[in-house]
Amino acid sequence: MDALETFIVESAIDSETAFYRQIIEDNLSSLKLGPAIGRIKVVLRPEDSLFQMAIILRDIGSKVTTLDMADVEARTGASHEVVISIKKERYIPELLKKLWDRHGKANIRQPDRWTVAVDSDNPQEEAEFIEKMIVADPRRTLHEDLVDFAIRATPEGFRVRYHLFKGKRFVFVASEEAMKKEWIEEAGAMLDELLTGGKTK
């Protein structure tokens, strides 16, 4: 896991601090979120049944098109197909899923690790579409993973939740009680503290 610039967990109960710090570390690792997160602060207030999390993200990647990861060629000779020559294998699963959804598995072949062939009645037109096709959107995936991560770290029974994901900032608040405006404002203040460089604890 990439080292966090700031990692703060606060609770009035010392044993909870260590416990939730370990839960957070475990979930960061299992969801592979370490590279995306720069700073994190979590505050537990058992007396209010309150859990607050503020995160500052590192640079988030932009959308990935097929051309970002592969060369695309239309072939109209003996076979009518689009041949995709992979340059970056990281996104192959996402590419295959998009192609299966569009063409069906029967029309997609992968003769080797670095080549995907798509049967098409109009290879030229289809090649142009595939080149521009968005294969992965790290930001959308990251949003889903951050919410999942926050829920996993939240104490059992804290089902009243609020979250905000904007730019490089993520806030999550959860409780057993009705959500209070000041709790959300406090989480926003935690973000401001992280932006000005809170230290690792």
User: Residue ranges per domain, the chain?
Assistant: 6-60+138-195, 64-136
Q: What is the pLDDT of residues 113-172, one digit of tens each?
A: 999 999 999 999 999 999 999 998 877 788 899 999 999 999 999 999 999 999 899 999
Given a cut of 70, whether residue 200 has pLDDT beyond it is no
Tokens of 27: 């979930």
pTM for the structure as a whole: 0.67
Q: How far apart are CA 8 and CA 6, in angstroms?
A: 6
Q: What is the pLDDT of residue 12?
A: 84
Given a cut of 90, whether residue 33 has pLDDT beyond it is no
Given a cut of 90, whether residue 41 has pLDDT beyond it is yes
Beta bridge partners of 108: 118
Residue 139 CA, distance from chain mean position: 6
Given a cut of 60, whether residue 2 has pLDDT beyond it is no
Q: What is the pLDDT of residue 23?
A: 93
Fold of the domain spanning 6-60+138-195: Double Stranded RNA Binding Domain (3.30.160)
Q: What percent of the chain has pLDDT over 90?
A: 71
Q: What angle do CA 140, 141, 143 make, to 5 degrees?
A: 65
Question: End-to-end CA distance of the chain, in Å?
Answer: 17
| Cα–Cα nearest to 59, from 40, 37, 81 | 37
Q: What is the pLDDT of residue 201?
A: 45
Given a cut of 60, whether residue 86 has pLDDT beyond it is yes
Q: Are 173 and 184 in contact (CB under 8 A)?
A: yes
Q: How far apart are CA 46 and CA 32, in angstroms?
A: 29
Question: Measuring CA to CA, how many Å separate 65 from each of 10, 135, 167?
Answer: 42, 5, 21
Q: What is the pLDDT of residue 85?
A: 97
Q: What is the pLDDT of residue 90?
A: 84
Q: What is the pLDDT of residue 161?
A: 96
Question: Measuring CA to CA, how many Å separate 51 from each of 15, 156, 195?
Answer: 16, 11, 20
Residue 85: HSE in the Cβ half-sphere, 13 Å Cα cutoff: 5
